[in-house]
Structure 1
Amino acid sequence: MARRRRAEKRDVAPDARYGSKLVTLLVNFTMRKGKKSLAEKIVYSAFDKIAAEKQGTNPLEVLERAVSNARPRLEVKSRRVGGATYQVPLEISGSRQTALALRWLVSFSHARKGVLMKDALASEIREASEGQGSCIRKRDEMHKMAQSNKAFAHFRW
């Protein structure tokens, strides 16, 4: 184990178009192989599609609602106690909740085959903001796991 202190979390700069740190995080999660300009193009065109689908809607508000709906409150972590491994439910910090929600949005968008990434991302964001879709199922699955392993909560560390 490292004997140094834990590295501090770096704060991200707000993005150019919307001035939102959440959009910057989404761009960073969308980015592959360091191609940030391509990731920005994908995210911004997904936002344009969301805005075009329903006139008068702010895509930033839709994203914030989607992330708040998809954020998991609990997760399970494996903990080895006396030869047995238990799935111990733990509460998640706010930054990890947001990171998981954004990661799920992007990964489920990638999983949609035969659809352009910008269209898939727009659909995932819209569905999550309405309380539907793969991200919400994943969150519910995580909460169900934590609920079923509540008996092992005293193994928390």
Structure 2
Amino acid sequence: MSRRGTAEEKTAKSDPIYRNRLVNMLVNRILKHGKKSLAYQIIYRAVKKIQQKTETNPISVLRQAIHGVTPGIAVKARRVGGSTHQVPIEIGSTQGKALAIRWLLAASRKRPGRNMAFK
């Protein structure tokens, strides 16, 4: 049993323009070399492109994309006897969102294209 107390749950801050926590989570994951203003520019340009193409609320499109990629379960290695088994374990909503954002950004970085906002 751990002697340490439980960790306090941190709430993500919202971004300055859309007042949305999901956008801020995306900005923090896209961040490279501490250049947060550049990450904000990339996200806002991408959101503007989504607005022009779909003519709907871009935040709802972003939320829908992340919801579509979010996993419900993950496999974890469990050692039983001498062999290792892959055991499915349910994932919480915040961990699922983090995985989904990570996967979306990895896929967009792999794509060839003009810039990150376009990808």
Tell me if both proteins adopt one fold, taking TM over 0.5 as the criterion: yes
State yes or no: 1:25 paired with 2:20: no
Secondary structure in structure 1 of the residue aligned to 2:86: strand
Q: Deviations over 1:61-112 (max 9, x none)?
A: 1011111111100110111111110000011001111111111111111111
Give the structure 1 partner of residue 73 of structure 2. Answer: 74
Secondary structure in structure 1 of the residue aligned to 2:32: coil
* Partner amino acid, structure 2, of 1:48: K
Aligned-pair identity in percent equals 44
Q: Deviations over 1:20-45 (max 9, x none)?
A: 00100010111112111111111110
Secondary structure in structure 1 of the residue aligned to 2:117: helix
TM normalised by structure 2 equals: 0.91
Ranked by relative contact order (alpha carbons within 8 Å, sequence separation 6 or more), the top structure is 1
Separation of aligned partners in 1, 2:48 and 2:94? 26
Q: Deviations over 1:1-22 (max 9, x none)?
A: x853353332111111101001
* Partner amino acid, structure 2, of 1:8: E
State yes or no: 1:92 paired with 2:91: yes
Separation of aligned partners in 2, 1:69 and 1:105? 11
Q: Deviations over 1:93-145 (max 9, x none)?
A: 0111111111111111111134411111xxxxxxxxxxxxxxxxxxxxxxxxx
Question: Cα RMSD between the aligned structures?
Answer: 1.5
Separation of aligned partners in 1, 2:34 and 2:10? 18
State yes or no: 1:113 paired with 2:112: yes
Residue ranges of structure 2 left out of the alignment (5+ in a row): none
Give the structure 2 partner of residue 61 of structure 1. Answer: 60
Q: Which structure features the higher share of helix residues?
A: 1
Residue ranges of structure 1 left out of the alignment (5+ in a row): 121-157
State yes or no: 1:41 paired with 2:41: yes
Separation of aligned partners in 1, 2:3 and 2:117? 43
* 1:133-152 equivalence runs, <5 A: none
TM-superposed deviation, 1:54: 2.2
Against the structure 1 CA distance between its residues 81 and 31, is the aligned structure 2 distance closer, same or farther, given a 3 Å change threshold? same
Separation of aligned partners in 2, 1:105 and 1:6? 31
